[in-house]
Amino acid sequence: MSNSKKPIGALIQSLFSGPLDIVGDVHGEIDALRDLMGVMGYRTDGSHPGGRRLVFIGDLSDRGPDSPAVLGLVSNLVSRGLAQCLLGNHELNLLREAIKEGNGWYFDVNHDHAKDKFLDSQSLAAAKRPALREFLAGLPIVLEREDLRLVHAAWHPASVETIRASSLDALDLYLQHHARAVQLGIDIGLAERGDADDASLGDSLTDVNAVVPLLPNFGALDALHQDANPVSIVTSGLERIAKQVFFASGKWRMVDRYPWWNDYTAEVPVIMGHYWRWPTRKARDDYSRGEPDLFAAYRANEWFGANKNVFCVDFAVGARFKERAGGATDHFQCRLGAVRWPERELVMDDGTRMGMVN
């Protein structure tokens, strides 16, 4: 059923033809995913009576209670031609074997559990790791067709074309550009200054209760490593030095995410995930990590950007672990959403439906 015109494993692939349901970041929330698929009329085997197919925007895993179940479901659907899936920054972290807050479920020694975090997250059996890595290594970074472009975080034309021209896989391309960025930081002296800032923080960097100043060299070094790497840009966005520090994903941050969509002037719509678009202001106020709200001026079903043709379908389901910590067991504020295309309808896992507006 796949309509891909490029070899399996190519980093930019053709998006399915026909009607699609584009699912936002799942972050291990298997119940939310099953609920959303049911709301949209999918059978338990992942097929749809209307011939629709699923497309996952990336970040299937981490923080939620059952990342292995989500990855198992999605990889099965992809293998059967019933779904496509993008590589998000959380999948890239797994390929890199980078220890991050929320991904302890993947490793033999669960670093989250050792810190009494994410204790309800199901671990991955070691025997299943090779098959999972094979699945992740084959995921594209971009999916596109004439009327739609999908990326996990940012449509950045220069980065997309660099990725398009490469014969490397995602991990090797990432590592190649990361090495170049690291060397550039050394050559211009920024690495030495940034490392000195880092050393001055000591354990305060990961202490949510610490008082941490904004250190420009530390932020500039982070931004350099991010913005000099096309794989990083497309999977986790562009960054700029922050106006003030904020605590996110286990450490103090000195960089803000840059709203690239304000510079996007192409006519083809872009749908992305990644940015934790809050379904309501109350959800933001209750569960925000302190980062700037890039979508505060927009309704949940509203397009944005220079041409009002960019949309974020990540509605912060990854924050449900915070809701559970507060005692919630259902009726969650944070949602899993999907965009129905070409209908331009937004659907949530609780059954809420909204037409998308410019």
Distances (CA, A) of 269 to 34, 139, 306, 326, 353: 27, 22, 11, 38, 20
Which amino acid, 254? M
Residue 291 binned pLDDT confidence (cut-offs 50, 70, 90): confident
Averaged over 23-39, what is the pLDDT? 98
Query: pLDDT at position 334, please?
Result: 97
Query: pLDDT at position 3, please?
Result: 40
> Tens of pLDDT along 67-86?
999 999 999 999 999 999 99
Nearest Cα residue to 334 out of 344, 345, 348: 348
User: Are 270 and 309 a contacting pair, CB within 8 Å?
Assistant: yes
- The residue ranges of every structural domain in the chain are 12-355
User: Are 77 and 52 a contacting pair, CB within 8 Å?
Assistant: no
Averaged over 168-186, what is the pLDDT? 96
- 12-355 has which fold? Purple Acid Phosphatase; chain A, domain 2 (3.60.21)
- Residue 323 DSSP SS3: helix
